[in-house]
Structure 1
Amino acid sequence: MKPRYRRNELKETQQLWEWREKIANLYYEVRSSPDAVAAWGLWCDTRSTLFRDHPQSPIEPADRKAFEGPTIFPYDPSLRLTVQLAPVTSERITVATGADGDLSMHAFARTSGLEARLGGELTLYWIEGYGGGVFLPFADATSGTETYGGGRYLLDTIKGADLGVVSPDGTLVLDFNFSYFPSCAYSSRYVCPLAPSGNRLKGPVRAGERLPISK
């Protein structure tokens, strides 16, 4: 039985490796495209295919065949926003993530430029540990009604969700049309870090992934 377990573990690890590669390649295409709407269309289509067909999909296996893909708001160019980043007093957060252990991260920057449009600013976090990565979760006025109650992710660079780095002029483009649900929104198999209280916008963000519309 032990060798069989190891074979299964190897197969699952290879599948996860492939999933991560496909996500990283997708976001490379998004960053490289001069047409934000076309890049968003590619993002929507690729994620729908992966969620339906890939063995590492967060959709339960029995539901994948009928799954048409994540439900997405129409592209809203007014929610592609340019912000400045300001340093912040380091705030360290540790989140339990089930079998994966504790996840530690610290705040490293706060946006400037979202308040007028979205009713608040957001803190960017750096996930600690080997390599590290940028993490930007948020909640807004749609959370729990039109979108997942625990909030959404916009950046999670460890897992390939990287829309681009800060420009030489110190600005960063945050395109909320690419915001998406954490895996725990789809399955209890996952335990995900959710948006901290300081990353809850007062205004609605009707862009990116949303809950299915009742028919």
Structure 2
Amino acid sequence: MTLTLLDWRRRVATLYADVRAAEDPESGWALWRTGRDALLGSHPDSPLDAAARSGFTGVPMAPYDPALRFDAPVDTDVEPLQLGVPTGEGGLVLHRIGRVTLGDVGRLDVWWTGGYGGGVFLPLRDGSAGTTTYGGGRYLLDTVKSADLGGTGGRLVVDLNFAYHPSCTYDPQWTCPLAPEGNRVPTVVTAGEQLPASGSWY
């Protein structure tokens, strides 16, 4: 499992590098969608079990909406907050480092994951959670795992079209950090990965 997981992470890193280098955001999104479906459907470290992979035809995805892409300044004038999050690997510590404002969607807290290396973590639980998307929310950025759309000078590229489901959406054996209070908004974000018509992958 260790070397196949290394391969998974290398492929994810390459995929997001290709997205950042794409000629335009929508073509980058198309690359990402195709690449993510390929990983989920065939990679040995896919969160889908073997039976689910055998019948997998792709994750339902909302059409690309260019209005949902933001080059957002990170407001670092926030009260420090630290959260302990239980996971299957002994837990995770999140440190709030700022907020981003994403148009009508509103403000979301930006977190730094503690531990070796660390990274920016930006989850989202919007008004679609529990109906057309996973009830615990989705991820927008998780740079420790290479889910990074770029940004310079204290800004982050946040594209809601790249909202993706965490592994626990696909199999209950996974434990995932979910969206804290500051990452929950009532607005329905019709973008990114959706649940299958059955409402569940298992």
Bin of the TM-score, shorter chain as denominator length: over 0.9
Residue ranges of structure 2 left out of the alignment (5+ in a row) = none
Q: 1:21-41 deviations in whole A, cap 9, x for unaligned?
A: 000000000111131111111
Q: Percent identity?
A: 48
Between the aligned partners of 1:109 and 1:34, the Cα distance in structure 2 is: 30
How many angstroms does 1:51 deviate by?
0.8
Please identify runs of 4+ aligned residues in structure 1 that moved more than 4 A: none
Structure whose alpha-carbon radius of gyration is higher: 1
**Is residue 157 of structure 1 aligned with residue 157 of structure 2?**
no
Alignment of 1:98-177 (within 5 A): 98=88, 100-112=89-101, 114=102, 116-118=103-105, 120-165=106-151, 167-168=152-153, 170-177=154-161
Report the residue type matching 1:55 in the other structure: P
The letter of the residue matching 1:48 is: D
Which protein has the bigger helix share?
1
The equivalent residue for 2:37 is: 48
In structure 2, C-alpha distance between the alignment counterparts of 1:24 and 1:203, rounded to whole Å: 30
- CA displacement at 1:146 relative to structure 2: 1.1
- RMSD of aligned alpha carbons: 1.2
Q: CA deviation at 1:189?
A: 1.8
* Partner deviation per Cα, 1:38-63 (whole Å, 9 max, x = no partner): 11111111111111111000101112
Q: Secondary structure at the match of 1:93?
A: strand
Residue by residue over 1:45-91, the C-alpha shift from the partner in whole angstroms, topping out at 9 and shown as x without a partner, is 11111111110001011121110121111111111123221111210
Distance 1:195 1:28 in 2: 25
Unaligned runs of 5+ in 1: 1-11
Q: Distance in 1 between matches of 2:178 and 2:147?
A: 16
Q: Deviations over 1:150-193 (max 9, x none)?
A: 0000001111111113x23x433211101100000000121000
Please, which of 181, 185, 191 is the counterpart of residue 207 of structure 1?
191
Letter in 1 for 2:41: R
Q: TM-score, normalised by structure 2?
A: 0.94
Q: Tell me the TM-score normalised to structure 1 length.
A: 0.88
- After superposing the two structures, state which structure 1 stretch, 197-206 or 150-159, moved more: 197-206
Counterpart CA distance in 2 for 1:171 and 1:127 is 18
1:196 is displaced (CA, Å) by 0.4
Aligned residues: 197
Partners of 1:207 and 1:70 in 2: CA distance: 13
Distance 1:171 1:159, change over 3 A: closer
1:82 and 2:71 correspond: yes
